[in-house]
Structure 1
Amino acid sequence: MLPTRAARSKSRTPEPAAPIADRQAIVSGTRLGAELDALVAEHGTGDALRPAVIAAVRAALATGRDEVRARFEAGGLGEDCVRQNCYLADRIIQTLAQFTVTHMFPSANPTLGETFDIAATGGYGRGELAPFSDIDLLFLLPYKRTARVEQVVEYMLYILWDLGLKVGHAVRSVDECIRQSKADITIRTAILESRYLWGEGGLFADLRKRFDKDVVANTGVEFVAAKLAERDTRHRKLGDSRYVLEPNLKDGKGGLRDLQTLFWIAKYLYRADSVDDLVGARVLLPEEAQRFAKAQNFLWTARCHLHYLTGRMEDRLTFDVQAQIGARMGYTDHAGTKGVERFMKHYFLVAKDVGDLTRIFCAALEADAKRPPKFNILRLTALTRRRDIEGFVVDGERLNIHSDSQFRDRPIDMIRLFHVAQQNDVDIHPNALRAITRSLSAIGPRLREDAEANRLFLEILTGRKDPEVTLRRMNEAGVLARFIPDFGRVVAQMQYDMYHVFTVDEHTLFAIGILHKIEQGLLKDELPLTSEVIHKVVSRRALYVAVLLHDIAKGRGGDHSVLGARVAEKLCPRLGLTAEETETVAWLVRWHLAMSFTAFKRDLEDDKTVRDFVALVQSPERLKLLVTLTAADIRAVGPGRWNNWKATLLRELYHRSEELMSGGMTAEGRERRIRIAQRKLREDLPDFDDPAFEHAANLHYPAYWLSFDTDTLAHHARLIRMAEVEGRALTVDTRIDRARAVTEVTILTADHHGLVSRLAGAFAASGADIVDAKIFTLTNGTALDVFSVQDAASGGAFEQGDKLARLSVTIERVLSGQLKPLQELANRKTVLSSRTRVFHVPPRVLIDNNASTTHTVIEVNGRDRPGLLYGLTRALSDLTLQISSAKIATFGEKAIDVFYVKDVFGLKVTHEAKLAQVRERLLHALADPEGAGAAALHRPRTRDKAATVKKPKPMDAAD
């Protein structure tokens, strides 16, 4: 129930939590005022005075700021820093106001209309001022503006602006404030937070009195609803998650604004000016108030460091500042975890605390105070009728508890509450959530080993009704982490890179939600294969548990797949899974990256690749489980991480593996498929007579026939015939494939040394990213190269007419020698932003002679950049290596490129001296293009044979 008017205490200016030590060292208003008086005596009030006043105030401001910063950087708290900055601003404004009315616009006997008060509003009104935050002022008038008041206000504001302060202001009468605050919730909030600064004080006192009587009284429901709606809108604009990896400290979910929302509501309803007041009003328990205070101080400390580090008002905790702020706040590397990851994990846990407290507080107020006006009396009567469901009370269409001690008396009810809510499609009452928060310690070993509790949890996880919603509620309430401690270890666990968008627990919950959507058929267009396969899966429970556990061992300093499998072996029997299901879950967790690794980093045209993968998977059931888990995992990494190229590669690996398991990838089967492809092509080329078709077919080696569909084979045949008839030295053909969001570029030209590298350079110089390429040399010595490219800027198809025209010209100029790709790339060099520059990607070259029966496999890791593929292919060509195929992958800022190569004799590269040379040259190519690596790219190259380059962008192995 809302507090009554009589229960509200008299409005007062909040006192600081503790006195500011040695305030005179920050600023002395008396001393500054005397200094300004002396300037008047020296210069008079003429033109020479203003610059002198600005210089004096600027010096006092700079001294005060330096003192506050020095105290803070010596180990001070954020809450002290913002109060000290506020005190500094108070004294500057008060002294300036007194100086202005005394010396610049004096009035021996000012009329009532010439009097005014100054109040602080916004965060400044709360007594909180970050180092570079705005200062919001309200010049409060008795009724209308007078010339003198306008002169005073104008003079003060121009002085403050000249000092470099960001000052927002309003000049209003008391009547205007009341009228506008009734109509505008933002103005109402500003006045709610207002704090007296300067003046006789009568106007401000009148404003507070009338505001309380005319605005606040009987409008608590309206205000709470508006602030909660405002909060929800703000959250949606910023992604509606508190676990984004570059959070907004102020406006993000779980940030300072959420705390301020709580204060606004508390002050509006209870006239509370501090967290202690909320304890006194029995809104929070003392331990909850302590969590609140700690969270607020942590956020203020981080925000003050952010302001000082960037030198401006900045609220986004971007990658380039996270490590520095973490170090300043004392977070160091240890136990296999980076200091920055420990700092960010603490931030996310604080954000979760803020969410817990504000949700309980705000939802409780909403539940008690808010009754939507659209409900009629009969509906209200029905809602207020309490009924019992499986030991819980339905209160206002929300599931509630019978008593505050229910969870402590029966801890299993903390699991049953979510199970019942899921089964009956009802929300959970905030009172029940609060009771859970206060009873979490009751979730211990006894409950974790309780067979019924584990049965309920497994039904929640594998239920036909969206498990993500219920599991997210359990995670927010802290139940999931307590019931499964291994999951608790990854709550708020981040990875410091540009690829992962969410924390591990958020990613896991998103993956479970995506799995549910796949099963419900909601992602048929985006994930057609898995949407079909999932309904053929026998081990459904094992699949859901595997998704829950696939990343559960991250952050432990070892291979999370191996460690996670061990967790699964122990946890699955506890949850009630059979021995067979446990084995399946452990296998899926251990190898959950295997399919994406194979599809994205190995040549699927190499039979050994598929055979090795099938030897690992062994059964069609595991294949179905793994492809579904892989798709859900990648899709849940973040926006844009799943695309049609990933789908194509996974689908290709799935079908090849399925075919091998059924005996279809034998040598005889391959010859049969080639004959079928040629027969279908013959039917699709009625305009070719038999000699012409035979000539066209004899131009290609066997590998070509299984690389394209019939329509593309026919398109190539006609392009080749036209080129021969017209005697073209170069043919560049483009086709836009919007279904795959790529542009297919087919190039016919004479084969020569370094052609692949030159073409890669031409694409890079044109702003096109290669996402797939199939490159063949025909029997007549002609190169047939088919590239699928995307716009590097937008990630979509490279389809604009002017860009396509420039691409064709660029290819022709590069092949003719008129344009040097390296020079063009240097002219168009993209400067890494400070956000991305902070990530260090150590260059690495791994050489494997066991992954293929016929090729040496070289894996290259380094920072992704425009033209990297060009540089690497040229480096390999310079070493007289033939590139047979390659996979190009990007993980955020990290490039992982895999090349299948042979030496000049068509054999594996086995000589140690040659292998050492390969490593050295590729490391040079990976280096900064302005450094030593650039020189290595100028050497002549040889022709890369029969390459298949596939570059999904952005590419990843799910994790």
Structure 2
Amino acid sequence: MPCASGPERRATTRSERDALLAEAGLTGPGFCRAYADAADQWLAPLVGDEADVALVAVGGYGRRELCPGSDLDLVLVHAGRRDIAEVADRIWYPIWDSGVRLDHSVRTVKEALDVAETDLKVMLGLQTARLVAGDAALATRLRDEANDRWRNGARKWLAVLRDHVAARHERFGEVAFLLEPDVKEGRGGLRDVHAVALARAASPVVAEPTAGVEAAYDILLTVRVELHRRTGRADDRLLLELQDDVAAALQLDADQLMGRVAEAARTIAWYGDDSWRRVSSWLEGPKGRRGGADQALGDGLVVRDGEIALTAEAVVDAATALRAGAASARTGAPIARAALARLVDEVPAPEDPWPDATRDGLVALLSAGRPAVAVLETLDQHGLLARLLPEWLAVRSKPQRNAYHRFTVDRHLCEAAANAAALADTVDRPDLLVVGALLHDIGKGFPGDHTVVGMEKVDRIGTRMGFTADDVGLLVGMVEHHLLLPHVATRRDLSDPRTAESVAEAVKRRDLLQLLGALTEADSLATGPSAWSDWKAGLVRELVDRAGALLEGARVPEPEPLVRDEHRAVMGGHGVTVNVEGDRVTVVAPDRPGLFARVAGVLALHGLDVRGASAGGEGGMAVEVFEVDAPFGDPDWGSVEADLTRAIDGPFALQARLSERDRTYAPGRRAMAAVPATPGIEWDNEASASASVLEVRTLDRIGVLYRITRALADCDLDVRSARVSTLGDEVVDAFYVVDGTGAKISEPVARAEVERAVRAALDAP
């Protein structure tokens, strides 16, 4: 490539880079190599024929993995030249002028190695040092000596690198399961493959990457290239709003893209975990763990050299694979590579129906609880889980692209089973609990309503596993009703007798209700941090107790009256009284239209989330009780009380204040679901004997409860009680409402008017 003048060289650089970026068919590793080669051709003339100087690429550029937004990581190595600063300026300034980001240093070989001895990043970069131009012998010496120091100091460096990897995982989270993963730095990301490659260069215990790991790496590298292409910057976080564009560039839809990202990241994460576990064992030294006698576990299993191994005489079948998994989870010893290879080669599909030993092996594995998750991942990575349960392939790495769900479908099921194992002593059939937890969302991998499809699948799976017809019925019932308790508990008034009656009528069996109570907790904990709380646990527990009493022949007690003597004591003043006790705010005030909305609005103004509310009154006075949560810490309750009094009893620009607060926070608020919520409104006149239930699903925002209840007041409806359920960035608000005469809303025309008012309130800016 001829040496061009400054402006001409800059134009050449930009045009070459732009041409590569515009070539849509050039993606992933191919783009990276082409870009690195173009950079080499551009940089070489800058060095020219200088003696005792070498321009060396390190890091990603050294590996010829140059993404569109990557820095040029360069070291100008010299043999003690006095004029090296002038040489460096002739190289660095054209790069800066070109607009390409540069990470550079100027050092002798000794200086570079001395810095590397105290700087992990520098040491790692030098392991991939590659000559771009100049003195080849100088570059080779730098790389060879850096490699020698890395290998000779392996025990020191690998311990540091292992801790660095763990800290990075803690900071960036898991690529496979985050809604917006960092494909480079997260656990299971590109950086993990680099780290294991460095460990492999220094330790004999790290295995070569499989073809699956290499393919996974290429997938993530391809995604990273497209991310840089779309954003024009070195951003490695796959944000929700970018996922459709990146997917389209790769001729995928966003769900397919995120499924492939999750699959690739899980493959890399498992390889990394296995590698670092072996490195840790190597670093610790023998300590008597190797060379000792086998510890027999029975049925062809032994603990050998700290791992679960198979004896030569072991009968290798599905039961053996599951028993090996259970032993691994129980002891903490990983399944040996040789044992895994043998299981992969020899385990056939289970008999139909499963023998007792196979079913017992699955239950034993799942009952191990939290340690079983990693074991299930190991079996899954080797294709054994799908061999035992073919339906698993449909949910494998299937994304759930919203903030409410933390995990892919398959990992969610494993987490739910682990949580269920911890609740085994709360049910009479812990075996059904853990198996039901593992299967409750299996329908999400197939077209149609996931509950309906899941019931059909679990009916077949349970029968195939050899459960009795009655047990299969319980498993199917767990799938059918796995959302019943959390939905009813958080969206219906538990004091209304009809609420518990509806659950008892749906479930019909006390043993199924017991299983559903435990499954609800296990499922919610596996869903995400916002899906379970002490408050929700209390509601579910109360609902189970009430429905269980009905199933045992008892009667649900009548609800306690909302208006109590302490309320009557302050009603005589006909003013506004506010009382705060813990998470309960009680307002006694003259009854008037829109009172409920005003209280809800003031609470929102002070950053309080309403979880539930009840309203009643007598003698022209109203009593309204709100259960609240303070996600940002307790507010100034004196200010809350003052604003409530002003909003109810005097002029107070509540709507204006809420709009101002919403505008303040709106710029930083992003959609956190692939499919934004659209307002959904449903009526239920059977859920209560005394009121209509209006259920509204919409995007959460400041003052949304105020907007809805103000619209209801405009339609002359009284809110008797309300329940608020938050699902990620969506809310489901349920209102028990009556008209001005105290009757349910039954007429289609009246309902249509209410819906129109609510939609208008939600659509308003």
Fold shared by both chains (TM-score > 0.5): yes
Task: Tell me if structure 1 keeps the 8 A contact 2:292–2:305.
Answer: yes
Aligned to 2:19: 67
Aligned to 2:101: 166
Aligned to 2:112: 177
Task: Tell me if structure 2 keeps the 8 A contact 1:360–1:430.
Answer: no
SS in 2 for 1:136: strand
Amino acid at match of 2:676: H
Cα distance in 1, alignment partners of residues 115 and 417 from structure 2: 48
Cα distance in 1, alignment partners of residues 594 and 151 from structure 2: 80
What is the CA deviation profile of residues 710-729 of structure 1, one whole-angstrom value per residue up to 9, with x for unaligned ones?
xxx7xx45xx64675xx573
Give runs of aligned pairs for residues 793-804 of structure 1, distance below 5 A.
795=631, 797=633, 799-801=634-636, 804=637
TM-score with structure 2 setting the length: 0.91
Task: Tell me if structure 1 keeps the 8 A contact 2:597–2:709.
Answer: yes
Amino acid at match of 2:759: L
Give runs of aligned pairs for residues 374-385 of structure 1, distance below 5 A.
379=288, 383-385=291-293
Out of 746, 759, 763, the residue aligned to residue 923 of structure 1 is: 759
Amino acid at match of 2:654: P
Aligned to 2:421: 516
Aligned to 1:187: 122
Q: CA deviation at 1:443?
A: 3.8
Aligned to 1:789: 628
Indicate how the Cα distance of structure 1 residues 120 and 384 shifts in structure 2: closer, same or farther if over 3 A, else same: farther
Indicate how the Cα distance of structure 1 residues 619 and 450 shifts in structure 2: closer, same or farther if over 3 A, else same: closer
Q: Say which is worse superposed, 416-425 or 859-868, in terms of deviation.
A: 416-425
Q: CA deviation at 1:490?
A: 1.1
1:353 and 2:267 are equivalent in the alignment: yes
Give runs of aligned pairs for residues 195-206 of structure 1, distance below 5 A.
195-206=130-141
Q: CA deviation at 1:573?
A: 3.1
Indicate how the Cα distance of structure 1 residues 255 and 392 shifts in structure 2: closer, same or farther if over 3 A, else same: same
1:429 and 2:269 are equivalent in the alignment: no
Aligned to 1:815: 648
Task: Tell me if structure 2 keeps the 8 A contact 1:77–1:297.
Answer: no
Aligned to 2:666: 831
Cα distance in 2, alignment partners of residues 422 and 206 from structure 1: 48
Indicate how the Cα distance of structure 1 residues 389 and 219 shifts in structure 2: closer, same or farther if over 3 A, else same: farther
Aligned to 2:39: 89
Aligned to 1:344: 258
Aligned to 1:400: 309
Task: Tell me if structure 1 keeps the 8 A contact 2:613–2:722.
Answer: no
1:329 and 2:263 are equivalent in the alignment: no
Q: CA deviation at 1:775?
A: 2.5
1:619 and 2:509 are equivalent in the alignment: yes
Aligned to 2:60: 123
Task: Tell me if structure 1 keeps the 8 A contact 2:53–2:77.
Answer: yes
Aligned to 1:296: 217
What is the CA deviation profile of residues 90-147 of structure 1, one whole-angstrom value per residue up to 9, with x for unaligned ones?
233333444xx99xxxxxxx8xxxx43221111111111111122211121324x73x
Q: CA deviation at 1:599?
A: 0.7
Cα distance in 2, alignment partners of residues 228 and 916 from structure 1: 62
1:597 and 2:531 are equivalent in the alignment: no
Amino acid at match of 2:624: D
SS in 1 for 2:611: strand
Cα distance in 1, alignment partners of residues 535 and 177 from structure 2: 28
Aligned to 1:660: 550
Cα distance in 1, alignment partners of residues 625 and 389 from structure 2: 51
SS in 2 for 1:432: helix
Q: CA deviation at 1:834?
A: 4.3
Task: Tell me if structure 2 keeps the 8 A contact 1:231–1:258.
Answer: yes
Aligned to 1:698: none
What is the CA deviation profile of residues 605-638 of structure 1, one whole-angstrom value per residue up to 9, with x for unaligned ones?
2221211111122333322221111111111112
Q: Which runs of 5+ in 1 are unaligned?
A: 1-28, 37-52, 103-109, 271-280, 332-338, 520-533, 675-701, 706-712, 931-959
Q: CA deviation at 1:765?
A: 2.5
SS in 1 for 2:238: coil
Aligned to 1:106: none
Task: Tell me if structure 2 keeps the 8 A contact 1:383–1:397.
Answer: no
Aligned to 2:345: 439
Aligned to 1:575: 465
Length, aligned pairs only: 761
Indicate how the Cα distance of structure 1 residues 328 and 550 shifts in structure 2: closer, same or farther if over 3 A, else same: same
Cα distance in 1, alignment partners of residues 644 and 327 from structure 2: 64
Amino acid at match of 1:68: L
Indicate how the Cα distance of structure 1 residues 448 and 203 shifts in structure 2: closer, same or farther if over 3 A, else same: farther
Q: Which runs of 5+ in 2 are unaligned?
A: none
Aligned to 1:496: 401
Task: Tell me if structure 2 keeps the 8 A contact 1:68–1:81.
Answer: yes
SS in 2 for 1:263: helix
Amino acid at match of 1:396: D
SS in 2 for 1:763: helix
What is the CA deviation profile of residues 653-689 of structure 1, one whole-angstrom value per residue up to 9, with x for unaligned ones?
12322343455536xx53xx86xxxxxxxxxxxxxxx
Q: CA deviation at 1:900?
A: 1.8
Cα distance in 1, alignment partners of residues 256 and 366 from structure 2: 29
Aligned to 2:194: 260
Q: Tell me which structure has the larger Cα radius of gyration.
A: 1
What is the CA deviation profile of residues 802-823 of structure 1, one whole-angstrom value per residue up to 9, with x for unaligned ones?
xx34323332332345332222
Out of 748, 752, 770, the residue aligned to residue 592 of structure 2 is: 752
Aligned to 1:636: 526
Out of 455, 470, 486, the residue aligned to residue 391 of structure 2 is: 486
Cα distance in 1, alignment partners of residues 342 and 8 from structure 2: 57
Identity of aligned residues (%): 27
Q: CA deviation at 1:305?
A: 1.1
Aligned to 1:456: 361
Task: Tell me if structure 2 keeps the 8 A contact 1:746–1:787.
Answer: yes
Task: Tell me if structure 2 keeps the 8 A contact 1:235–1:241.
Answer: no
Indicate how the Cα distance of structure 1 residues 355 and 482 shifts in structure 2: closer, same or farther if over 3 A, else same: farther
SS in 2 for 1:847: strand
Give runs of aligned pairs for residues 833-852 of structure 1, distance below 5 A.
833-836=669-672, 839-852=675-688
SS in 2 for 1:642: coil
Task: Tell me if structure 2 keeps the 8 A contact 1:748–1:784.
Answer: yes
Amino acid at match of 1:897: D
Aligned to 2:324: 417
Indicate how the Cα distance of structure 1 residues 76 and 398 shifts in structure 2: closer, same or farther if over 3 A, else same: same
SS in 1 for 2:445: coil
1:734 and 2:580 are equivalent in the alignment: yes
Q: Say which is worse superposed, 767-776 or 752-761, in terms of deviation.
A: 767-776
Q: CA deviation at 1:330?
A: 1.3
Indicate how the Cα distance of structure 1 residues 157 and 387 shifts in structure 2: closer, same or farther if over 3 A, else same: same
Cα distance in 2, alignment partners of residues 856 and 465 from structure 1: 44
Task: Tell me if structure 2 keeps the 8 A contact 1:256–1:299.
Answer: yes
Task: Tell me if structure 2 keeps the 8 A contact 1:447–1:453.
Answer: no
Task: Tell me if structure 2 keeps the 8 A contact 1:839–1:893.
Answer: no
Indicate how the Cα distance of structure 1 residues 661 and 296 shifts in structure 2: closer, same or farther if over 3 A, else same: closer
Amino acid at match of 2:666: V
Indicate how the Cα distance of structure 1 residues 518 and 420 shifts in structure 2: closer, same or farther if over 3 A, else same: closer
Cα distance in 1, alignment partners of residues 147 and 599 from structure 2: 73
Cα distance in 1, alignment partners of residues 490 and 117 from structure 2: 60
SS in 2 for 1:58: helix
Cα distance in 1, alignment partners of residues 553 and 354 from structure 2: 46
Q: CA deviation at 1:649?
A: 1.5
